[in-house]
Chain A
Amino acid sequence: MANYRIHKTEYIDETKRVSFKYDGKTYFGYEGDTLASALLANGIHLVGRSFKYHRPRGIFSCGAEEPNAICQIGSKKDLTEPNVRATELELYEGLEASSQNCWPNVKFDIGGINNFISPLIPAGFYYKTFMWPKSFWKKVYEPLIRLSAGLGKSPTEPDPDIYDHKYVHYDVLVIGGGISGIISAKMAAKNNLKTLLVDDKKILGGSTIYQNNESIKIDDKLSSEWLKNEIQEIKKLSNLTIKTRTSIAAYHGYNFLLAKENLTDHLPEEKKKNKIRQRLWKIRAKKVVIATGSIERPLVFNNNDRPGILLSNSINKYLDYYGVTCGENIILFTNNDSAYETSISLHKKGIKNIIVDLRKSASSELIKQAESLGIKIYFNHVVTNTFGYRKINSLEIMKLSEDGNTTVGNKIRLSCDCLGMSGGWTPMVHMHTQSGGKLDFRDEDQVFLPKENSEDQISVGSCNGDFDLEIIIDKTVNKINKFLDIDIQDYQDTNIICSKENDKRNIWLLPNKIPLGKTKSFIDFQNDSTAKDIKLALKEGFRSIEHVKRYTTTGMATDQGKLSNMHALGIIADTAGVKMGTLGTTTFRPPFTPLTFGTLVGRNVGKFFEVVRKTSMHEWHVENNAKFENVGQWKRPWYYPKNGENMYDAVQRESKAARDSAGILDASTLGKIDIQGTDASEFLNRVYTNAWSKLAIGKCRYGLMLNEDGMVYDDGVTTRISENHYLMTTTTGGAANVLSKLEDYLQTEWPELDVYLTSVTDHYSTASICGPNSKKILNKLFPNLDLSDENFPHMSFKEEKLENINCRIMRISFTGELSYEINIEAKYGHSLWKMCIEAGKDFNLTPYGTETMHLLRAEKGFIIVGQDTDGTMTPSDLQMDWIVSKKKYDFIGKRSLYRSDTIREDRKQLVGLLTDDPKEILEEGAQIVLDVKSKPIDMLGHVTSSYFSPNLNKSIALAVVRSGKTMKGQKLIIPMENKNINVTVSDTIFLDKENKRLNA
């Protein structure tokens, strides 16, 4: 039978044939198929190789828990996507998929040799083997591991798809559109609560929607028919939003959840174009109903991983939902009732099947139904081995002993082409635990259940451990009424017939005559860890589940152990002889299923990645070839290369021009804080180290701000504009932090002060003109302003109009030159700049950037907070004792200046350094030592700023050096990779110590 599609279902549209490629070969499926169902319809089970042993693996499930059918989608460099689960991927015309983790191909795989040397690859193999020799790592082990490991290939070019984010608020969020989710959503919405129902599948209905067993009925209808009716009903509810193809990725505190909505992944290539691919929903819900259902457990026995071995319920879904049978001669191996549903479904479609049941006997209506249909059942039997390399072809069963610990009697060999297994059900408690909920363990069927339901969150249905249909409906209705404080009686008279029973015989590791060491009883299919690995880890002394997990890598693959964690825990509990409930579980971390990076970043890519702040003059800088530097979010001109200059040459030219004639700097980015109020002077007294009460109106003063621990925090010039009005400037990078720190003190420590702070950084543009010709340029710009030293001395402020626009002009200097800062309302900044450039034409007014600014101030020994300081420097360490008021009773950080640590004489202190060879430029960050011969070498400090000064024609540097204050004239050594540089400690001021240039 080449075609395994054996009947029509309403979910498969046989009028719409879809062609797709798998591993280069073309196949056909139908609209409604997943890649997995279409492959199975074509008789393809083998879809990949296992991670460690490269064993052939087949499609194993029909949902998010899939460990094996992991595909690479597409082949384009920018759009290819690895690790896509074929069981979730909806088929579309033109889909190209390939198997992963096999080379050269899935049928002939070189890594498969690992399978034969597997006794050599026990748990922790990688940790143990690749330890030595060290030199082998880079050349031998790593390339080897990288070649044979890995799950698929990442795209190598940027993702061209569009992603989106959306914030929503709901009264009630219901996660999961199975029967309990639908009932919950209906109850909430009918009670006028704004409700959102999400489900990861294409349609609602969960596993009930394809249920067609006559012995499971609601109100005399098949449960699937009853549910379809309910779905029609809820679609009419106006305050219910239904989002399908939407999965919850994370459940954070305060009912904040992230959901991923898939919008185009199911569409053919041409229909995907220009559409949003995925949307991340950021959901705040007052109440959350978790109805995420449960997933079937595998059973752990020898060779339980061959292609053709699936979960029993998945066989049922492929049959009843997709119309596809997974085989023609199927064996179902179970420890509970649910495999009988599959068996009866198969039987009805004419598929031969037999059942191997671990239980000694069972007698529910469902089992009686199977027996009456003549289905062969082997009670009290266990599968001990399977055969077939690329697909299962037979298996061996044996009778179980009374206690279930061993096998007895003779082996029976049964042929088959497919094996379905059911180890019972594991409630999906991920969402509950992610939200902070704890778990209880129920011994009778060995499941973890949500422990408590809070007032904000509740679990209903099988994720709450309720597996019986009657109990599910009954409990859901009661719990939701109570949870939402409502009284909906719609389901009171619902008549439910369910012939399944919960009886189960749980054995985590099934017995076998073969010693465990010689079996391959897989627990984690994706990471290839076996029962033997778990036992070995315990033997080697691991006890904590978290450690065993990491050592054996169980549960650490992309499926995050959805199918394996319970068995690992069970085997640990059995081996250690403790009760399973006492072991705890591993942590369930988000995301529930993998998310693409695109979804997480949304629109915040490329130029929207981060906010960019530009000054009003920015366009001029661009037009004049500026190279930019990022300072915080600001783009600042770094230097302006001319005629192919490199950075060094440009900076030398700019620096020289600024001292020889005139230079202009865009200083708009400096932080500006407007300070007003009757206590403004007192406030400044408290936040700066120096005294402020006597600063006259119209004067400027430099201030140093400390942290309470005495370390320099920020600096800048503050101008007294009027009696109760100051304008403070801060460093560019520190502006926001300074404002928030000042606000903190004002609001919490000194609320009695009448002071108001406003950030005006963006309100003003600033052009700073310096150099001996700056006064002449100012005179051209402001012909009516008296620029004489008497009227407008250094450290003073004037307001003057430029044409008819008001300017604030400060005569202050960060370069040591005669210098003016012109501030103007930001919208006029560009014009101001152009007028300055025009006025400076005859004086070689040279625009300079941050690099030249740094060089010029270093010549004068002015510090840059954050470059020459690093949060461990006191004013005294910076040789700036002069700025610390001795008279003031208190200011922020004062008390810390005489802590035992801050008064140490041997702290690192700021010094100047001159290289013995004046052409040698030091590297910033380079270490400084006294002597290179004694080992270990005593490190004295490091270089903080270093430049070649064109004005002094020699190299200059600032550095912090232990006891540096006492070292003037001392010879020191800067050891570099290939040489030692000799330097001499100097004063920090290299140029114009007498400040003559300020008044030039």
Chain B
Amino acid sequence: MFLINCPFCGERDQSEFSSGGEAHIVRPKQPTELSDDEWAEYLFMRKNIKGIQFERWNHAHGCRKWFNVVRDTSNDKILSVYKMGEKPPVNYK
């Protein structure tokens, strides 16, 4: 059970949040210009890595805000949280 530091509310129990999968997958601005393969890349392909992963979380039972989390999936340590639209911390790349 993680403790997640919501950038808007502070540290809360994981049960208040829902996970939204991999972060920084931008919806294409012009989907109609894309081939099936390019669209599938956006729609279906996710990394699911062991190690440092950038992911989206939603404070569903709190402020309802979405934000980003850097998590090491091998030990579940949350290394950083940052708001939507903010640049991911470079030191984890």
Contacts and interface: CB of A to CB of B under 8 A. Distances in A.
B91 interface: no
A254 B2 CA distance: 6
Contact of B1 (A254, A740, A896): A254
Contacts of A900: 36
A252 B1 contact: yes
B36 to A, nearest CB: 6
B85 A751 contact: yes
Interface in B51-69: 56, 58, 60, 64-66
B59 to A, nearest CB: 11
A350 interface: no
A747 interface: yes
A436 B36 CA distance: 43
A309 B56 CA distance: 58
Contacts of A15: none
A709 interface: yes
Contacts of B85: 751
Interface stretch (A116-124, A222-230, A887-895): A887-895
A749 B60 contact: no
Contacts of B76: 253-254, 436
A747 B3 contact: no
Nearest to A252: B1
Contact of B3 (A254, A890, A895): A254
Interface residues of B, number: 27
Nearest to B4: A254
B78 to A, nearest CB: 9
A890 B32 contact: yes
Nearest to B27: A749
A748 interface: yes
B60 A740 contact: yes
A890 B31 contact: yes
B32 A889 contact: yes
Contacts of A709: 43
A747 B66 contact: yes
A893 to B, nearest CB: 9
A550 interface: no
Nearest to A900: B36
Nearest to A901: B36
A649 interface: no
A284 B4 CA distance: 13
B52 to A, nearest CB: 17
Nearest to A707: B43
A895 B75 contact: no
Interface string B9-49: 00001000010100000111011101010011001000000
A284 B3 contact: yes
A895 B32 contact: yes
A747 B8 CA distance: 14
A931 interface: no
B64 A743 contact: yes
Contact of B56 (A254, A708, A748, A899): A748
A744 B1 contact: no
A740 B1 CA distance: 22
Interface in A742-760: 743-744, 747-749, 751
Contact of A895 (B13, B31, B60): B31
A900 B40 CA distance: 11
Interface in A714-762: 740, 743-744, 747-749, 751
Nearest to B33: A895
Given A253-B2, A744-B58, A895 B84 contact: no
Nearest to A895: B31
Given A253-B1, A284-B3, A436-B75, A895 B34 contact: yes
Interface in A234-262: 252-254, 256
A894 B30 CA distance: 11
Nearest to A890: B31
- Identify which of B13, B28, B31 gathers the most chain A CB atoms within 10 Å of its CB: B31
Given A751-B85, A894-B32, A256 B39 contact: no
B11 to A, nearest CB: 10
A740 B56 CA distance: 13
B82 to A, nearest CB: 13
Contacts of B40: 899
A744 B20 contact: yes
A747 B39 contact: no
Interface string A691-714: 000000000000000001100000
Nearest to B2: A254
Contacts of B84: 747-748, 751
Contacts of B2: 253-254
Given A895-B39, A896-B39, 13 more contacts: A253-B1, A254-B76, A256-B1, A256-B3, A284-B3, A740-B58, A747-B84, A748-B66, A751-B85, A890-B31, A895-B28, A895-B32, A899-B36
Interface of B: 1-3, 13, 18, 20, 26-28, 30-32, 34, 36, 39-40, 43, 56, 58, 60, 64-66, 75-76, 84-85
Closest 10 CB pairs of A and B: A895-B31, A256-B1, A747-B66, A749-B27, A254-B3, A252-B1, A253-B76, A895-B39, A748-B84, A254-B2
30 contacts: A252-B1, A253-B2, A253-B76, A254-B2, A256-B1, A284-B3, A436-B75, A436-B76, A708-B43, A740-B18, A740-B64, A743-B66, A744-B58, A747-B65, A747-B84, A748-B56, A748-B66, A749-B26, A749-B27, A751-B84, A751-B85, A889-B32, A894-B31, A894-B32, A895-B34, A895-B39, A896-B39, A896-B43, A899-B39, A899-B40
